[in-house]
Amino acid sequence: MPFYQQRGQLPEKRHIQFRDKDGNLYYEELISREGFSSLYSNVYHLNPPTDVTNIGELHKLNRKAWIDTHRHHHIRSFNLESSGDAISSRVSLFYNNDVELHTAHVEESMNSFYRNGHHDEVIFIQNGNGMLYSNFGNLELNKGDYVVIPRGVVWQMTIQETMRQFIIETNGPLETPVKYRNRHGQLLEHAPYSERDIRAPEFVIPQVNGPVTVNLKLVNGYQTYEYANHPCDLVGWDGYYYPWVFNINDFMPITGKIHQPPPVHQTFQAPGLVICSFVPRLFDYHPEAIPAPYAHSNVDSDEILYYAEGEFMSRKGIGEGSITFHPAGLPHGPQPGKIEESIGKKETNELAVMVDTFQPLTITTAAKAADDKDYPLSWNQ
């Protein structure tokens, strides 16, 4: 996580007696990564967090692979059928052993709480707004937010204005890039964002009503747990483990005299993938610079690009919600004419999220309904 935070009431030391004004003990819980060897937070409950009253049946995931030719894809995600809350509206489009990518058209607030038991999540809010309620506190959600939710956080999302979301579930922890951190974990001076840009949860009074049902996602399916007491009953917490928000518009682009490669846009890392942000920026300033990107072949990675808004100068036919999939081994780049057309332009206003994976992605059958079958031939135009 980005940096140390503390909220609410805390005892002077960890693992000592901590009582309320009537002498009742609060219940301490350690939530930690990699056993006891990585990031953690100590949280303090009004009631035992272990008091489970009912366990639901496991409902297996129903995700089907689309066995298709090895080719480029353009998915017009707004054409997909998607409705419901932040979980039920998700449409799974791509996956491998490291990541699963979804889109969602979120129209409803969640009626129950949710916990991802085996995956971290980053939810990109393309538009709309709402609120994330969690056991660590509340976070306002707005257009352009990356909402980073570590596995194990209990949360619920309410919608004030309908949201379009792009969701990235990772099998390993989502982190700030190592290249932007000093040996103490602080973001460096040349990093494209700083800790000031990161929003941590606002603490709220503990909830006491129960029982509460939490929907749990696992690697092989979904099930429910009913807890005797509310999971958001914390009187205080401190540590490095908590949900947080970073807005894409706070990413400060790195530009150069000639065209800069995609790694300068890196925003997050996770095992097996990187996430990059393409934001409005000045183009290159060499007198003979070509602003349009050069053609390239990803021989070691698959590339997903989610287009959020703006004008995408390297090709026509792309709009908001477009998702392009450029698999390993196939060159891609600007369409004919777009290279010459870019010369002399001073800036771009595009906004997009890129995910590069280092293992091949599988595309799902859900993508068929919005796939532009002529996209692989679009460089002939």
Q: Is residue 313 in some structural domain? A: yes
Residue whose C-alpha is closest to residue 84's, from 101, 103, 105: 105
Q: Is 97 among the domain residues?
A: no
Is the per-residue pLDDT at 381 higher than 80?
A: no
Residue that is written with structure tokens 């709009």 in the block:
319
Lowest mean pLDDT across 160-164, 228-232, 264-268, 295-299: 295-299
Q: What are phi and psi of 166, to 5 degrees?
A: -120, 120
Whose tokens are 């480029």? That residue is: 72
For 182-189, what is the mean pLDDT? 95
* Residue 126, SS3 per DSSP: strand
Let me know if residue 142 belongs to a domain. no
How many distinct structural domains can be found in the chain? 1
- Answer whether 0.85 is exceeded by the pTM: yes
Q: For residue 84, which phi and psi values (nearest 5 degrees)?
A: 120, -155
Whether residue 133 has pLDDT greater than 70 = yes
Q: How confident is the model at residue 103 (pLDDT cuts 50, 70, 90)?
A: very high
What are 43's strand-pairing partners? 29, 237
**With b meaning 16 or more CB within 10 Å and e meaning fewer, what string describes 37-66?**
eebbbbbbbbbebeeeeeeeeeeeeeeeee
Q: Which two tokens stand for residue 56?
A: 């639901």
Give the separation between CA 158 and CA 38, rounded to whole angstroms: 31
Gap between the Cα atoms of 243 and 266, Å rounded: 20
Residue 333 lies in a domain: yes
Which domain does 268 fall in, by range?
249-380
pLDDT of residue 316: 85
Q: What percent of the chain has pLDDT over 90?
A: 92
User: Is residue 376, in this structure, part of any structural domain at all?
Assistant: yes
Average pLDDT over residues 350-379: 96
Nearest to 279 by CA among 262, 296, 294: 262
pLDDT tens string 44-100: 999 999 999 999 999 998 889 999 899 999 999 999 999 999 999 999 999 999 999
pLDDT in tens, 20-57: 999 999 999 999 999 999 999 999 999 999 999 999 99
Interior/surface letters 167-206, b for 16+ CB within 10 angstroms, e for the rest: bbbbbbbbbbbeebeeeeeebeeebbbeeebbbbbebeeb
Q: What is the pLDDT of residues 203-214, one digit of tens each?
A: 999 999 889 999
Residue 326 lies in a domain: yes
pLDDT at 1: 64
Tell me if 4 is assigned to some domain: no
> Domain with 372 in it: what CATH number?
2.60.120.10
Give dist(CA 337, CA 314) in Å, integer: 9
* End-to-end Cα distance, the chain: 46
C-beta separation of 255 from 281 below 8 A: yes
Please tell me the distance from the alpha carbon of residue 348 to that of residue 312, in angstroms, as a whole number.
Answer: 8
Nearest-10 Cα torsion for 292, 348, 251, 166: -80
Q: Taking 90 as the threshold, does the pLDDT of residue 3 lie above it?
A: yes
User: What is the pLDDT at residue 380?
Assistant: 86
Structure tokens at 165: 């979301």
Question: What is the bridge-based pairing of β-strands 212-218 and 113-116?
Answer: parallel
Mean pLDDT (the chain) is 95
Residue 325 lies in a domain: yes
